[in-house]
């Protein structure tokens, strides 16, 4: 059963129960009122019966007088048949009298006329002889008058009326029943006479009794059968009204329940729509009552739910991006800057930071400077001394510092961002602080929560692994392209850089040069001083050459005591100048540290330039090698070209 059906049934029951009860109470009240009215009419009805009898008795004298006059006239000219006819006509001419009896001088009946009485069954109607013999015979009210005349055959006339059912029906009215009793014998009654003893004991029928002239009693009561019929009629009428009321109430209840459940149904449909993901669904607000407020509250709830879902979706997307970024970070271990940018962006997104900075150490580790910046001006940031400000404190002690917008606690240095809310914590790598991660919020009313702090710490811990991977990768990469003894680039890196430099020179038509260097008589150093001293000489030689060339130039060990210098943006004349500087640097000071025997060495240099001497790595190296061979042939400690003038030497 639906809610609407249950409400309809409830409304019908709520209305019809008291209405039905009120109807039955009204029925009992109406019947009771009728009973009381009938009861109040019993005594007047008896009095009315007595007064009618008295009035009829009085009327007998008035009605009998004309008859006596006609009897006097009739005696002179006729016999008994004539008298009988006269009395019959007189009786037919009146409704108040029921019998006439004419008596002679001896009291014998001369003539008589009467109507058929309607006495109660079982009561024997009085005969003419009984009326004549007994004045006041039961069932007859009579009067006797003398006719007169000494020679008249009729000396006395008896006239009267029957106290039968016809008489009582003329007297009774409404629901009142009447009966005339002679002792315990019923003369006449308009209805079934109730048992008097049972009535006197409190029965359901009320009776009143009154003594009348002629040794009779009048009994008045109201008919229980008629009252029962009346009660049943009232009941039927009431049931009809209740049926009509039931129909009306059912229709009104259906309309009202539909009106009430319509909004609830809309709320239910709205809830189903929200459950199905239709977050834009709204319920129309038609009223300002409780139902309207319910619809408004539901719409507000749906709006908040939509906002929450949107926030959760945004958080989910942010988490997905964060996880993806962490994965990218872990995969991009070959690029330190990309790693640090990923760590910073992930931390800033995870906690909703406005600005983020990662601070790195200087070469001497006494200062920090911004190496990765998010949403902040780099030119507004400067170097921070270790131990100074918030960043310096974190770098010195390895602690996490949180500012919550208040003026208490550590304060930032002048070269740090001046935001009221921040988190600063160290990024570790290989058991020491690698850098300092800081995230900021501009609004002091939005401090970081503990969950934000934990998230940044988690990312910092994950970043430690990634940082170590990058450092190990960079170290492995460095080892793969550097010479393990001298620390300068190896032949593999030389070839890689040559391709880049060659491509740039070809595209922009720019020159570059290549120097081939070889220490003179280096074998004698190994033979006389040992290979360890020879290795030390090679290390010192590579350092001296690196100090002479520019940072953009490449110094690589080509093999044994041979080294190659790749000079970018340098033509042949510039390469010769650089070669002369190298010659001077080598011969200017003996090789060896303190406490070691000094060794004087020289170097021979072969020079080749692009594009004069070749346009590939192989051709340029071969040309420089030819120059080196010429320098060796002409006495060493000099510069050799593949072709052209020989005997180039640095001026002493």
CATH code for the domain in which residue 454 is found: 3.30.450.40
pLDDT tens-digit readout, 470-523: 777 777 777 788 898 999 999 999 999 999 999 999 999 999 999 999 999 999
Query: What is the DSSP annotation of 231-244?
Result: HHHHHHHHHHHHHH
Same domain, 415 and 315: no
Distance of CA 426 to the CA centre of its chain: 46
| CB neighbour class for 145 (10 Å; exposed up to 12, middle 13-18, buried from 19) | middle
Cα→Cα distances 341→106, 347, 418, 434, Å: 161, 10, 21, 14
530 and 443 assigned to the same domain: no
pLDDT at site 516 = 97
- Same domain for 43 and 28: yes
pLDDT above 70 (res 13)? yes
Q: Has residue 51 got a pLDDT over 80?
A: yes
Dihedral (Cα; 287, 288, 294, 298), 10-degree rounding? 80
Q: Is 498 found in the same domain as 591? A: yes
Predicted local confidence at residue 400, as pLDDT: 94
- Answer yes or no: do 518 and 621 share one domain: yes
How many other CB atoms are there within 10 angstroms of residue 509's CB atom?
A: 8
Of all residues in the chain, the percent with pLDDT exceeding 90 is 33
Q: What is the pLDDT at residue 328?
A: 60
Task: For residue 125, give the DSSP letter.
Answer: P
Give the pLDDT band (50/70/90) at residue 151. Answer: low
Residue 575 has pLDDT above 70, yes or no: yes
According to the model, what pLDDT value does residue 581 have? Answer: 96
Quick one: 408 and 343 in the same domain? yes
Tell me how many domains the chain contains.
Answer: 4
Average pLDDT over residues 44-64: 80
CA distance linking residue 76 with residue 440, whole number of Å: 156
> pLDDT band for position 459 (50/70/90)?
confident
In a domain, 309, yes or no: yes
In 3D space, the residue among 594, 556, 592, 574 whose CA is nearest the CA of residue 639 turns out to be 574
Choose the most confident range, by mean pLDDT, from 40-44, 164-168, 201-205, 270-274. Answer: 164-168
Do residues 500 and 446 share a domain?
no
Which candidate, 148, 462, 470, places its Cα nearest to that of 325? Answer: 462
Indicate whether 327 and 359 sit together in one domain.
Answer: no
Nearest to 457 by CA among 423, 434, 419: 423
Identify the pLDDT of residue 15: 77
Averaged pLDDT, 319-347: 71
Is this structure's pTM higher than 0.75? Answer: no
Cα angle 40, 44, 50 (rounded to 5 degrees) comes to 155
Same domain, 9 and 105: yes
Does 75 fall in a domain? yes
**Which three-class secondary structure state does DSSP give residue 393?**
helix
SS (H, E, C) 476-507: HHHHHHECCCCCCECHHHHHHHHHHHHHHHHH
Q: Is 424 helix (H, G, I), strand (E, B) or coil?
A: strand
C-alpha 120/C-alpha 165 separation (Å) is 7
Greatest mean pLDDT among 340-354, 543-557, 633-647: 543-557
- Return the residue matching tokens 């280096």: 522
Q: How far apart are CA 611 and CA 513, in angstroms?
A: 9
* Tokens found for residue 249: 């109430």
- Tokens 């570790």 locate to 428
Q: Cα 577 to the chain's mean position, in Å?
A: 84
| Chain segment 355-364, per-residue pLDDT in tens | 999 999 998 8
In this model, does residue 135 exceed pLDDT 80? Answer: no
Task: Kindly report, residue by residue over 189-201, the tens digit of the pLDDT.
Answer: 887 777 655 444 3
Beta strands (DSSP E) in 7-103 are: 99-103
Question: Can you name the residues that pair with 220 across neighbouring β-strands?
Answer: 178, 208
Confirm whether 247 is domain-assigned.
no
Angle between helix 522-529 and 531-548 (nearest 10): 140
Backbone phi, psi, residue 446, to 5°: -125, 65
Q: With H, G, I as helix, E, B as strand and everything else as coil, classify residue 633.
A: helix
* Torsion, CA 381, CA 467, CA 403, CA 369, rounded to 10: -20
Q: Work out the average pLDDT over 420-437.
A: 91
Residue 208 confidence class, pLDDT cut points 50, 70, 90: low
Question: Quick one: pLDDT at residue 350?
Answer: 87
String of DSSP letters for 232-281: HHHHHHHHHHHHHHHHHHHHHHHHHHHHHHHHHHHHHHHHHHHHTT-TT-
Average pLDDT, the chain: 82
* Cβ atoms within 10 Å of 547's Cβ, excluding its own: 11
What range defines the domain where residue 412 resides? 335-468
Asked if residue 532 belongs to a domain, the reply is yes
Percent of the chain with pLDDT over 70: 86
Same domain, 458 and 488: no
Given a cut of 90, whether residue 647 has pLDDT beyond it is no
User: Which residues, 6+ apart, have CB-to-CB distance to 133 below 8 Å?
Assistant: none
Torsion angles phi and psi, residue 643, rounded to 5 = -140, 170
State both tokens at 484. 């393990």
Contacts 24+ apart (CB under 8 A), 409-417: 413/384, 413/385, 413/388, 413/389, 414/382, 414/389, 415/381, 415/382, 415/383, 415/384, 415/389, 416/381, 416/384, 416/389, 416/390, 416/391, 417/355, 417/357, 417/376, 417/380, 417/381
Per-residue pLDDT tens for 216-267? 788 877 666 666 777 778 778 878 888 888 888 888 877 877 776 776 777 7
Q: Are the beta carbons of 344 and 335 closer than 8 angstroms?
A: no
Integer CA distances (angstroms), 186 to 95, 116, 165, 193, 314, in order: 24, 17, 11, 8, 107
- Considering the domain architecture, whether residues 364 and 317 belong to the same structural domain is answered as no
Asked whether residue 265 is assigned to any structural domain, the reply reads no
Whether residue 339 is found in the same domain as residue 422:
yes
Residue 256 lies in a domain: no
Position 320 scores a pLDDT of 60
List, for residues 577-595, the tens digit of each pLDDT value.
999 999 999 999 999 888 8
């Amino acid at each position: 059963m639906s809610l609407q059906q249950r409400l309809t049934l409830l409304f019908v029951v709520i209305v019809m129960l008291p209405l039905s009860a009120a109807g039955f109470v009204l029925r009992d009240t109406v019947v009771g009122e009728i009973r009381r009215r009938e009861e109040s009419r019993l005594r007047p009805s008896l009095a009315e019966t007595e007064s009618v009898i008295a009035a009829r008795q009085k009327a007998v004298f008035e009605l009998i007088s004309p008859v006596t006059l006609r009897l006097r006239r009739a005696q002179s000219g006729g016999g008994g048949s004539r008298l009988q006819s006269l009395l019959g006509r007189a009786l037919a001419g009146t409704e108040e009298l029921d019998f006439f009896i004419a008596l002679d001088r001896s009291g014998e009946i001369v003539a008589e006329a009467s109507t058929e009485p309607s006495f109660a069954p079982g009561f024997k109607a009085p005969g003419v002889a009984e009326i004549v013999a007994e004045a006041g015979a039961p069932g007859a009210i009579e009067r006797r008058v003398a006719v007169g005349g000494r020679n008249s055959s009729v000396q006395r006339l008896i006239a009267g009326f029957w106290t039968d059912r016809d008489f009582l029906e003329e007297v009774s009215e409404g629901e009142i029943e009447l009966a005339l009793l002679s002792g315990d014998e019923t003369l006449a009654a308009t209805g079934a006479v109730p048992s008097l003893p049972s009535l006197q004991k409190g029965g359901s029928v009320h009776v009143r009794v009154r003594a009348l002239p002629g040794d009779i009693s009048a009994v008045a009561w109201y008919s229980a059968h008629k009252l029962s019929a009346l009660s049943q009629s009232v009941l039927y009428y009431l049931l009809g009204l209740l049926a009509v009321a039931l129909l009306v109430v059912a229709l009104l209840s259906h309309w009202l329940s539909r009106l009430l459940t319509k909004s609830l149904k809309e709320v239910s449909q709205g809830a189903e729509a929200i459950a199905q993901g239709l977050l834009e669904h709204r319920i129309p607000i038609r009223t300002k009552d409780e139902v309207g407020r319910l619809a408004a509250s539901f719409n507000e709830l749906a709006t908040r739910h939509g906002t929450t879902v949107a926030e959760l979706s945004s958080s989910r997307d942010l988490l997905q991006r964060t996880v993806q970024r962490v994965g990218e970070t872990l995969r991009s271990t070959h690029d330190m800057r990309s790693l640090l940018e990923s760590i910073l962006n992930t931390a800033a997104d995870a906690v909703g930071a406005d600005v983020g900075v990662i601070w790195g150490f200087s070469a001497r580790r006494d200062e920090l400077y911004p190496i990765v910046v998010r949403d902040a001006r780099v030119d507004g940031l400067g170097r921070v001394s270790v131990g100074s400000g918030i960043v310096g404190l974190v770098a010195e002690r390895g602690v996490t510092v949180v500012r919550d917008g208040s003026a208490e606690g550590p304060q930032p240095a002048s070269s740090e961002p001046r935001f009221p809310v921040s988190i600063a914590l160290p990024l570790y790598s290989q058991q020491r602080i690698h850098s300092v991660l800081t995230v900021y919020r501009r609004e002091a009313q939005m401090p970081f929560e503990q969950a934000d702090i934990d998230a940044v710490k988690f990312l910092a811990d994950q970043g430690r692994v990634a940082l170590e991977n990058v450092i190990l990768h960079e170290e492995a990469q460095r080892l793969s392209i550097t010479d393990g003894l001298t620390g300068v680039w190896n032949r593999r890196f030389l070839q890689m850089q040559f391709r880049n430099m060659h491509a740039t020179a070809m595209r922009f038509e720019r020159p570059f040069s290549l120097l081939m260097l070889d220490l003179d008589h280096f074998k004698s150093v190994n033979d006389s001083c040992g290979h360890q001293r020879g290795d030390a000489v090679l290390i010192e030689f590579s350092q001296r050459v690196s100090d002479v060339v520019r940072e953009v130039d490449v110094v690589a060990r080509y093999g044994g005591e041979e080294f190659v210098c790749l000079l970018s943006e340098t033509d042949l004349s510039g390469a010769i100048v650089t070669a002369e500087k190298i010659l001077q640097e080598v011969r200017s000071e003996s090789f060896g540290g303190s406490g070691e025997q000094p060794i004087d060495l020289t170097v021979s240099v072969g020079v080749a330039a692009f594009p004069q001497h070749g346009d590939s790595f192989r051709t340029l190296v071969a040309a420089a090698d030819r120059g080196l061979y010429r320098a060796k042939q002409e006495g060493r400690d000099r510069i050799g070209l593949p072709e052209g003038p020989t005997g180039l030497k640095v001026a002493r």
